Chain A
Amino acid sequence: DVKVTQSSRYLVKRTGEKVFLECVQDMDHENMFWYRQDPGLGLRLIYFSYDVKMKEKGDIPEGYSVSREKKERFSLILESASTNQTSMYLCASTTPYNEQFFGPGTRLTVL
C-alpha cells in the first residue's frame, strides 16, 4: 500500500512566522503535489515536483515555496504566514498511472 505521511495533523502559527510542512512518501514516486482545500473552493494546486530539485508552480503559488532535496520528501514553506493561509494542506504522490494518493492533511491555523 502507498503511504503518504505529513509532519503534523494540526498546526497553529502566528502571522509572519515561517512555516514548514513536510510530506514523505514510501513508494519511490517521482511526482509529488501540494494542495490546499478550503470550503467552497475545492482542491487548489500550489506546487508540484516531478523529480528531485525540480518544481513547478500550480494555480496558487503566491506566498509559498517548496523544496525537494530527496525523492521521498517534498516540503511546503510559507515564508511569512498570513491569516489567509489558514487552510487544510494536502500532499499527494502519484503512480505512473497518474493515481494520486493523499496524505492525511495538515490543518493550519494562522492567528
Chain B
Amino acid sequence: QKEVEQNSGPLSVPEGAIASLNCTYSDRVSQSFFWYRQYSGKSPELIMSIYSNGDKEDGRFTAQLNKASQYVSLLIRDSQPSDSATYLCAASSGSARQLTFGSGTQLTVLP
C-alpha cells in the first residue's frame, strides 16, 4: 500500500525564518508530488507541484525532490504569520489517477 509520511508537528518558527517541511513516500513508482496548504476550516489549496529530481522555486516557496531517497520537502523562506496553516504532501504514480495524501504538518509562524 502506498504511504506518504509527514511529521505531524506542530512546527513553530519565528517570523522571517525558513520553515522546512518534510515528506517521505514508500512507493517507488510515484512520479508526481504536490504540496497543499490548508487553513483551518478551509479546503486544501495547491501551492507547488514537482515532477523531477532537484529544486523548484516559486516565490518564497521551494520544493525539493529526491527520488532515490524517496523524499520531498518544502521550504518557506521569510516565513510570515499568514503562512500558519497545515501543509499536506501528496504523491501519485503515472498510471494512477488518485493522489495519496500525508496526514499534514501544522505550521505556526510566530510574530
Contacts and interface: CB of A to CB of B under 8 A. Distances in A.
B29 interface: no
Nearest to B51: A97
Interface in B1-59: 32, 34, 42-46, 49, 51
A99 B98 CA distance: 10
Interface residues of A, number: 19
A102 B98 contact: no
B88 A100 contact: no
B49 A99 contact: yes
Contact of B43 (A42, A97, A99, A102): A102
A31 interface: yes
A99 B34 contact: yes
A20 B51 CA distance: 36
A43 interface: yes
A103 B43 CA distance: 7
B62 interface: no
Q: Say what secondary structure dominates the interface of chain A.
A: strand
Contacts of B98: 33, 45, 48, 58
B99 interface: yes
A50 B43 contact: no
A98 interface: yes
Given A42-B104, A43-B88, A100 B42 contact: no
A102 B45 CA distance: 7
B97 A98 contact: yes
Contacts of A43: 44, 88, 101
Given A90-B44, A98-B99, A104-B42, 16 more contacts: A31-B97, A33-B98, A42-B102, A43-B44, A43-B101, A45-B98, A48-B98, A90-B43, A94-B97, A97-B49, A97-B51, A99-B49, A100-B46, A100-B90, A102-B44, A104-B43
